[in-house]
Structure 1
Amino acid sequence: MRLPLLALAVSAFAIGTTEFVVMGLLPQMASDLGVSIPSAGMLVSGYALGVVLGGPLLAMATARLPRKTVLLVLMGVFVLGNLLCALAPNYEWLMVARVIAALAHGSFFGAGAVVAGHVAAPGKRAQAIALMFTGLTVANILGVPAGTWLGQALGWRATFWAVVVLGVLALLALARGVPRLHDLSPPRLGRELRVLREPQVLLALGMTVFGFGGVFAVFTFIVPLLTDYAGLSPHSVGSVLVLFGLGATVGTLLGGKLADWKLMPALMIALAALSLFFLLFAAGMHHTGVAVAGVFLIGLIGFVGGPGLQARSVQSAREAPLLASTLNQSAFNLGNAGGAWIGASLLAQGAAYPVLGVAAAIITAVGLGLTVISMQMERGARHSALACDSAACDATSKV
């Protein structure tokens, strides 16, 4: 069990690093490519949209292939995309390369979750899937800060070359460590696609989009915010980004416990706390200490809802676990893309950085509203079911 899960975790580490490292290199990339900070920020949106589009399409296109083959093909696409990033001659080619690298992201985690669950020991399926996703968490703690330091020292292209090496190592680990699982029956696409007509599934995906959209409206531009607005030294940025990874780790662990406690109330608390935090952060982010502390709190409060949102997505689409897992990744990255786009648009129009905090609070509040609607619909359906059961019992007793 350990070798396949380690291979999946290494792959997740490489994917997580390339997804978020651009945020740490935004000023350098903007300067080198001759574009504005908001335009460079759109590289985050480009990657996220690649995940949104590529995840469901590749999941359906590869549904009947062996899972190991799928993982190897997807990691090969990921390596190719990052190689093109390192070689990109200009901003436009870099955007295309980012989208190519992103295509494999969502479907990789969908297929990886299936494999992790299959190779897990009895009763350890959830823990095995969580172990794979620790690669993403470790990427935020180690990969993104290390990539930021490397890019500052040797140029941003060096960071993408390092990701290429990581991707090749992950590819070799998958080839050696993941067994060929011949007893996995392919998903029935018709049944899986039908879940998209369920209102609760759409609400769950919307909760993920808006629940994370606010985070990336601010965090996409965290480096220029720290250096240009809060007065932090550029050489300290890598160290501060470690705080985000630590906060995200603590938030994810705490969120898992809260989701096991009471899923929907926990999500409401998490999103309400996040919306309030962004308003407070907007008021104080000009202080260096507040800005640095805010980086940790964005990770902590921003990711505390992550396990619950993932659980809600799978719970709402229990008949289609592969598609639900993939679509939740797409929803997360749609929030990523939308948040980054909103932040870039505001900055391009001359807005100050605190405006990003206010926008993030509003976006998160929409996610909170969708959560309330979903909870009310669930309660209504439960009461209707109880009423029907009661009516049936009365009819039976009269007979």
Structure 2
Amino acid sequence: VVGAPVIAVLSARMTRRTLLIALMGFFALMNGLSGLAPDYHTMLVLRFLAGLPHGAYFGIAMLVAASLVPTDKRTAAVGRVLLGLTIATTIGVPLANGVGQAIGWRWAFAIVAGLALLTAILVLLFAPRDVANSNASPLRELSALGRKHVWLTLAIGAIGFGGLFSVYTYLASTMLAVTHTSPALVPVTLCVFGAGLTAGNIIVPRFADRALMATAGGLLLWSAATLALYPLAALNFWTLSADVFLIGLGGALATVLQTRLMDVAGEAQSLAASLNHSAFNTANALGPWLGGMAVAAGYGWTSTGLVGAGLALAGFVVWAVAAALAKRDGI
């Protein structure tokens, strides 16, 4: 949340290729140092520092990907970049956890640092060389904050995407307390969720490149419906897994809104692209917070689905306002 906008503004005069290499190099360094952390407080600081490049890296990487394809293929290109994140969630996280248990957590961080360094080298070798924009400046990037369509797009994600996180955060607890599954099946369902995210980023961009805003609205309604089914689906492992996969498909909203920001940000592309990740991290706080309040109030673990459906519908209301203003302004 902090790193994305700050880095985007301060690095306005850097070439995108150079910035990607620097961000991934810094990420590698901080993860390597995390593996050497002598105590908890040092680890805490290093984890914060390791998180700083995250949003800016993905935002800039998506801009680079979109610049390599025709306009009507931008969302597909953005989706390809996000596939890395969804596959990492599905495979990388369980794998790193397994490595940590097998040979020690310090080696898990060492492997992450090595992969990050490899990524920086691959970007150096294969990313297209670009020229820094002589007109770029921190003030020009900050101009994105004065555009109402940027704020509306960010609000759609910050609110509407919270529903997915409301369910995902408490999924393991729901499976154990409501579905009464074996703890061994929890990782299976988490992988099913990741598979839904991956499938969404493959399928949905094909529609978004033809009708961007309509696809965003449709995804919010899709999320509301699948999240509303969650309390019923949670009673059985198979129906729960199917519903979790369908909920995961709605995660493609991140890809769609990223492309929308490219259309409304004007010359402040870097900041707007990075802020999209700040918005979704806000959703990652809002959804679990409201879902946790519902559980704490005694409404049960499955109430997170209804909270999520409410957030998706609230996001749809913001989308409706954004769509109406976009039609009026011709954007």
TM over 0.5: yes
- Alignment correspondent of 2:228: 279
Over aligned residues, Cα RMSD in angstroms? 3.1
- Alignment correspondent of 2:319: 371
Return the letter of the residue paired with 1:272.
Answer: L
Structure 1 Cα separation of the partners of residues 309 and 180 of structure 2: 24
Contact 2:80-2:201 at 8 Å conserved across structures: no
Shift in alpha-carbon separation, 1:232–1:161, aligned structure 2, 3 A: farther
Question: Aligned pairs, how many?
Answer: 330
Alignment partner for residue 267 of structure 2, among 298, 319, 328? 319
- Alignment correspondent of 1:79: 28
After alignment, is 275-284 or 171-180 more displaced? 171-180
Alignment partner for residue 187 of structure 1, among 136, 150, 173? 136
Residue 85 of structure 1, CA deviation? 4.7
Q: Which runs of 5+ in 1 are unaligned?
A: 1-51, 386-399
Q: Which has the larger radius of gyration?
A: 1
Contact 1:255-1:303 at 8 Å conserved across structures: no
Residue 225 of structure 1, CA deviation? 2.9
After alignment, is 167-176 or 89-98 more displaced? 89-98
Shift in alpha-carbon separation, 1:307–1:182, aligned structure 2, 3 A: closer
Shift in alpha-carbon separation, 1:258–1:342, aligned structure 2, 3 A: same
TM-score by length of 2: 0.85
Shift in alpha-carbon separation, 1:235–1:273, aligned structure 2, 3 A: same
Contact 2:173-2:301 at 8 Å conserved across structures: no
Shift in alpha-carbon separation, 1:268–1:74, aligned structure 2, 3 A: same
Measured against aligned partners, the alpha-carbon deviations of 1:171-217 in whole angstroms (never above 9, x if no partner) come to 33234444653465462433332232222211111001112111111
Measured against aligned partners, the alpha-carbon deviations of 1:252-306 in whole angstroms (never above 9, x if no partner) come to 2332122233222322222112112212102331322222223312211x22433
- Alignment correspondent of 1:236: 185
Structure 2 Cα separation of the partners of residues 179 and 263 of structure 1: 27
TM-score by length of 1: 0.72
- Alignment correspondent of 1:17: none
Residue 316 of structure 1, CA deviation? 1.9
Structure 1 Cα separation of the partners of residues 78 and 48 of structure 2: 26
Return the letter of the residue paired with 2:307.
Answer: A
Residue 372 of structure 1, CA deviation? 0.8
Measured against aligned partners, the alpha-carbon deviations of 1:281-340 in whole angstroms (never above 9, x if no partner) come to 02331322222223312211x224333222222222233222221111221222123223
Report the identity percentage. Answer: 34
Alignment partner for residue 333 of structure 1, among 281, 306, 315? 281
Return the letter of the residue paired with 1:275.
Answer: A
Measured against aligned partners, the alpha-carbon deviations of 1:41-85 in whole angstroms (never above 9, x if no partner) come to xxxxxxxxxxx1110101111222343432232113322443455
Alignment partner for residue 101 of structure 1, among 17, 28, 50? 50
Residue 156 of structure 1, CA deviation? 5.8
Contact 1:195-1:317 at 8 Å conserved across structures: yes
